[in-house]
Structure 1
Amino acid sequence: MAEGLSIGQVSERTGLSVHALRFYEREGILADPVRRESNGRRVYSEDDVDWLDMCIKFRSSGMPLDTIRRYTDLVKQGPGNEQERLALLKSHQESVVAQLEELTECLRVITYKVDIYTEHLERGTAECLWVAPSTVSQDEAV
């Protein structure tokens, strides 16, 4: 094999299935074209793996494939569109911050309920009172 990584090796390194890797390539998600050996097998570089790792983080944080594809297209175009890249990333960053705030509130409620049940079980009481989490301050619950 030529110097580089096979699709199986990239699958193992990234956690993406071979099918997903082929899909990403078809959809234009990779920043560089995947090289091919003389027999047609794909050969990936470390840069490809780094790019895929970044795309995985984008997807895990909720970035739509269309947005990842747009970002990839901007990168492929080269210098001169950094403002557009920045705007795209800032918009997604705001979305992730909003998700974190929502998850923090969810964690506050769950922590409150865990504390209630823990206290209930430690006391050995037969009844469990439901208390609205809004009556507990964020500092007390998290």
Structure 2
Amino acid sequence: MTAEATIAERTYTIGELAAISGLSVHALRWYEAQGLFPRDIPRTPGGQRIFGDEAVRWLALLNRLRDSAMPVADMARYSQLVRAGEGNEADRIALMESHARSLDAQIEELIASREVIRDKITFYRQAVASRT
């Protein structure tokens, strides 16, 4: 065996992947049905899905995209672009830049909301202090 020998990728059942990813088995099946995986999910001769480490990493990304309110349609589009392979990087960049701009706008709204809330806290603290 050489130093360059590859280590076999770990495989996971759908239940194991659910536990690792924090998603339910139902959600993983739904993700597959929506085309959110960039590759076809291989199956055992008995029809059980087999997931590898790549699926774990991919779901970590999808969880971040979902947590940041990326629409499922955009997540599916990104997955399609990845599935298509090299040559569409400009489209991937455009999709991610669009989402980043959306996040920037959300962050600005949250900061503005936080300032209003802080102003209310200051107002109520002053009201309480003036009564004592």
Q: Classify the TM-score, shorter chain.
A: 0.7 to 0.9
Overall identity of the aligned pairs, in %:
37
1:38 aligns to 2:58 (yes or no): no
1:17 to 11, 24, 39: 24
Q: CA RMSD in A?
A: 1.8
Question: How far did residue 84 of structure 1 move?
Answer: 0.8
1:72 aligns to 2:100 (yes or no): no
TM-score, length-normalised on structure 1? 0.80
Consecutive unaligned residues of structure 1, counting only runs of 5 or more, are 127-142
1:125 aligns to 2:131 (yes or no): yes
Aligned residues: 124
Q: Where does residue 106 of structure 1 map in the other structure?
A: 113
Once residues 130 and 20 of structure 2 are traced to their aligned partners in structure 1, the CA distance between those partners, rounded to angstroms, is 49
Question: How far did residue 120 of structure 1 move?
Answer: 3.4
Question: How far did residue 113 of structure 1 move?
Answer: 1.5
Once residues 99 and 27 of structure 2 are traced to their aligned partners in structure 1, the CA distance between those partners, rounded to angstroms, is 23
Summarize deviations over 1:35-87 as a string: whole Å, max 9, x none: 21222211211110111111111111111111111111111111111111111
Once residues 110 and 73 of structure 2 are traced to their aligned partners in structure 1, the CA distance between those partners, rounded to angstroms, is 25
Runs of 4+ more than 3 Å apart: 118-121
Question: How far did residue 19 of structure 1 move?
Answer: 0.7
1:86 aligns to 2:112 (yes or no): no
* Cα separation, partners in 2 of 1:118 and 1:11, compared to 1, 3 Å: farther
| Stretch of structure 1 that moved more, 111-120 or 51-60 | 111-120
Q: Where does residue 50 of structure 1 map in the other structure?
A: 57
Where relative contact order (Cα < 8 A, 6+ residues apart) is larger, the structure is 2
1:5 aligns to 2:12 (yes or no): yes
* Letter paired with 1:79: E
